[in-house]
Each structure stands twice: as C-alpha cells, then as structure tokens.
Amino acid sequence: MTIAVTGATGFIGRVLMPMLAGHEVRALVRAEGGDLLDPVSLDRLVAGADVVIHLAASVDIGDVADPLTFAINVDGTRHLLEAARRAGARRFIYISSVAAFEQAPYDKPLDAGRPLCTDRRRPYDFTKASAQALVMGCTDMEVITLAPTAVLGPFDYRPSLLGKALIGLRRGRVPALFPGGVDFVDVRDVAAAIAAAVTRGVPGQVYLLAGAWAPLSALNTGRPIPVVPLWLVWLGLPFVKLWARLTGDAPYYTRQAVYNVIYSNRCVDYSAAARDLGFQPRPLTETLNDTIAWFQQQGMLSLSPAG
C-alpha cells in the first residue's frame, strides 16, 4: 500500500513513520521543497497514493490571529484534499485536535457529536475546526478524523510547546504555574491509532484520542513550584507581553493559553477509538517518566530533579 504523509518530521510524525513499515511511504518535507500551499508539490506527494495522512499544521496559541496559520491549517488542508481527489486516493486521514470542539458544557463528556468551535477569537481552535469540517464534508474518499488532546511523550526533538514547558520545569525556569489543566495523551498511543486507521476505522467517523485530565502541576516532578491565583495571572498578562517584546522571546503565557487550561473539558470520550482502532492510552505517570528519561538521554535536561 502506498501512503502519503504530511508532517512526517513533526512530533507525531517521527513516532508514526516507523509504525508504517511494510508500506511504501512518501512524505512531504518542507526543507525539500514540499509546501501545503503549493499544488504542484502536493500532486507529486499523493500521486499513486492509496491513503493520505494529513498531520502537518501550524500550532498557534497567540491572542491575535496569524493569517499564515489559517492559510496552512485551512487552505493547506483544502489543497491537499483536492490533490488527493485528483490522484484517486481511497482514504484520507486528518489529524485534528480536541481543541476544534466546543469544550462546554464542562461537566458533560465531550464526544464527536459536540459542536465545532466557531469563535474566531480562538485562532488555532477555529482553524482546526474549519479544516475538520472541510475534510468531513468530502464524499469522494473514505475520510476519517482523529482528534487528540494535548500530546506529550518522548522523541520530542524540536521540542513541542508541552515539551518546552516540561524542560522549563525541570530546569527551574518556570517561576509559577497557574490553575487549571488539560487532558494529556501519549504521542506513541496517538501514532498507533493513526497507523491503525490506515486499514481500520469507519469512514465518516471522528475519533477522539484522549488519556486523562490532570492539572498543570502534574507536569512538575521536580522541586515545588507555586500555583498562583487566577486573578494574578490576568493581572500579570500585560507585563508578560511587554517583557516578550523587549526580549524578543515568546511570552511565558498568553490569554489563549490560559483559556485552554481553565476551560478544558475533563472527560473526553475515546470509546469509539478504543472500539474501532484498538486505542488504549497509557497512564500519564508512564508518559512523564519516559519523556523525562528521553530528554535526559538527549542532553536536553540536567539529571538533577531540580534542574
């Protein structure tokens, strides 16, 4: 079977690629001229492909919408869909995000029937929801969407936003945490579900991939770090933005990042993925231990718990 993959060099992609052994795999690599906004490179990618796996995306937790994020996440998905149709691909697997869904009501399980985000003030969530709607509206192929929660785990080479947060905590560079949390899922379990979706899964189905909800403080396995009250988080936001402008670094947090952790659903229903894809998330403690050990092996952490 021939499989075309975007985002193969990203966090999930690096873990997924070895799981596709036995298939002929073709990857879109930006460094080699591949571009989601270039129809020619997309046609070359999907030519003769039986299955297309769309992982590539722009992750943006900023408070101001970036036109490039919309272009990559929505227009890029549209271009890839059109290329896959032209190539006669049989199956299109889109990797969305649980953030694409409305999180409220927070006291009820979030499943695939929950409405998609329509709030443009949540730029990333809105673009993922828009792209997911495009994919699921396609009737020319077998389309399947997989929507993971916050992905964490080893083999995080770049690293991801969560990976950076974990490194910062271990190095003692995070002065405080704010209230709230998210559902964490292991990158290896997400990649295994994607690999399973190549031959399994019901066309037209959206599968949520979740682990377990935990507070942000669960990431801190080193020295104690205070959790500041929410009012202080909001009070400090203008100063965080000013400091980021002065230093040229990314802000320690944004309004959108705070919203993501204080307004996240605590019960994401992954039963459909368990039933159809054999998805079985591992405990967060295992993920954390393996991730920290991997960062240490890569020299990205000191070996002392305090960083």
Q: Greatest CA span in the chain, whole angstroms?
A: 56
Mean confidence (pLDDT) of the chain = 91
251 pLDDT above the threshold of 80: no
Express each pLDDT in 165-184 by its tens digit.
899 888 888 888 888 899 99
Distances (CA, A) of 131 to 71, 106, 194, 243: 10, 24, 18, 34
Over range 143-155, report the average pLDDT. Answer: 97
Given a cut of 60, whether residue 307 has pLDDT beyond it is no
**81, part of any domain:** yes
Going by pLDDT thresholds of 50, 70 and 90, the confidence category of residue 224 is: confident
Under 8 Å between Cβ of 278 and 196 = yes
Output the pLDDT for position 286. 97
Taking only the tens place, the pLDDT of each residue in 133-142 is 999 999 999 9
Domain with residue 98: its CATH number is: 3.40.50.720
Q: Which domain holds residue 129?
A: 2-154+184-210+266-281
Q: Does some domain include residue 75?
A: yes
Flag the least confident range among 83-92, 110-119, 266-275, 294-303: 294-303
Per-residue burial over 248-261, b if 16 or more Cβ lie within 10 Å, else e, is eeebbbbbbbbbbb
286 domain residue, yes or no: no
- Both tokens of 113, joined, read 């029937």
CB count in 10 Å sphere of residue 87: 19
Distance, CA of 162 to CA of 237 (rounded, Å): 20
pLDDT band at 305 (very low <50, low <70, confident <90, very high): very low
Tell me, yes or no, whether 60 lies in a domain. Answer: yes
Please give the pLDDT value at position 34: 64
Count CB atoms within 10 A of the CB of residue 243.
Answer: 13
Q: Is the pLDDT of residue 116 over 90?
A: yes
Is 57 strand, coil or helix? Answer: coil
Instruction: Return the number of other C-beta atoms located less than 10 Å from residue 265's C-beta.
Output: 24
In a domain, 126, yes or no: yes
Torsional class of 248: left (φ above 0), alpha (ψ -120 to 50), beta (otherwise): left
How far is 95 from 81, CA to CA, in rounded Å?
Answer: 13
Residue 146 lies in a domain: yes
Q: Is residue 93 part of a domain?
A: yes
Q: How many residues does the chain have?
A: 307
Instruction: For residue 90, give the DSSP letter.
Output: S
Arithmetic mean of pLDDT, 291-303: 87
Residues 198/266/237/254 CA torsion (nearest 10 deg): 10
pLDDT digits 0-9 by tens, 259-286: 888 889 999 999 999 999 999 999 999 9
Under the banding of pLDDT at 50, 70 and 90, the label for residue 31 is: low
Mean pLDDT of 232-241: 87
- pLDDT, position 303: 45
Higher pLDDT, 259 or 49: 49
- Are 127 and 69 in contact, with CB atoms under 8 Å apart? yes
For residue 302, the model assigns a pLDDT of 60
pLDDT digits 0-9 by tens, 51-84: 999 999 998 877 777 888 999 999 999 999 999 9
Residue by residue, DSSP assigns 123-138 as HHHHHHHHHHHHHHT-
Q: Indicate the number of domains in the chain.
A: 1
What are residue 148's DSSP bridge partners? 209
